[in-house]
Amino acid sequence: MPPNVESLTRLREYPTTPLANLPTPLIRLNRLGEMLGTERLWVKMDAETGFALGGNKVRKLEYVLAPPMLEGVTCLITAGGPQSNHCRVTAAFAARHGLRCVLVTNQGPESDPTGNALLHRLFGAEIVLAGDRSERATLMESTAGELHARGETPLVVPIGASTPLGSLGYARAAVELCEQLDALDDGCSETLVFSASSSGGTLAGLILGLALMDRTDVRLSGVSADTSAEELDEICRQLAGEAAELLGTEIDPNIVPFASIDDQVGDGYGLPTSASREATELFARHAGIVLDPTYTSKAAAALIAHLRVDGARDHQRIVFLHTGGAPGLLA
């Protein structure tokens, strides 16, 4: 099938609040690739989107917090863990735009806040504690109701900004990545992309973008930070289809080669494994790249395991999508 030119045009013209420094660089990792047995290892540095220390949430919030969504809004409410990257960027957005921000987190720091928890507070966010992760959504809604009763106009930003609207940010990123891949002169006809995932918005956007461009030569591996591979796969494909509807089109998400991986979760969300610790050390010592313990270290561990078991074939290049999160390493 040819690229869906009309939908790609609508994607480019969709309202946003510009935040990110784009395009983010695509960098060849020669030393790390040599250690892992390939000369064709690359990293897409979405850790360097720039705003509020960067990461993948910046691209999503450009759409979720576009001007039409903010008319009359006085306060942003969202939720996440105590080291949430999404909460960090949302709080920074509120600070820049003169809005109040309430963050619902499922626990607070036991002592002085560090990492993202410190940044949440530096950006001026009010912290509301939930008993556990399952209570966060309900507490966001009740907090919004209380603010409404006091005459404010709150906007509830879903966890991770992983909505059909937020996914458009990574549909654009897919277009950007493919332009960079097409400019390479390395003789490769297939690209394997490894990315961390939890709430699914990043991968859903990539699926949408690749489907609109009819790029079956790019194969996605979504490395789960918490959920099962089956659940993650379902979330991503559903979000991709709903995001396509925002562009007035339909896609078959199954045409994009995509696989979910859940063998790096270990003991659970945010808990390092021996493989993720090794990945953190290898990327730091051989590429000068900082990974975080919740997401990117586990995605990198999956990439390393793939190269050690299957290697990279002669026609393949490997791309690690670095979705950011470095403050979490310092918590």
Q: Residue 118: which residues within 8 A CB-CB, separation 6 or more?
A: 112
- Out of 84, 167, 260, 276, which one is annotated catalytic? 84
CA dist 312 and 302 (Å) reads: 14
Q: Count the neighbouring beta carbons within 10 Å of the beta carbon of residue 257.
A: 17
Distance, C-alpha 320 to centroid of its chain: 12
Which residue(s) pair with 258 in the sheet? 220
CA dist 145 and 77 (Å) reads: 11
Q: What end-to-end distance do the CA atoms of the chain give, in Å?
A: 47
Q: How many residues does the chain have?
A: 331
Taking phi first (over 0 means left), then psi (-120 to 50 degrees means alpha), and beta for anything else, what does residue 130 get?
Answer: beta
| Contact assessment for residue 102 and residue 128, using Cβ atoms and an 8 Å cutoff | yes
Hey, what amino acid is at 37? G
Known catalytic residue at 84 = yes
User: Mind telling me the catalytic residues?
Assistant: 84
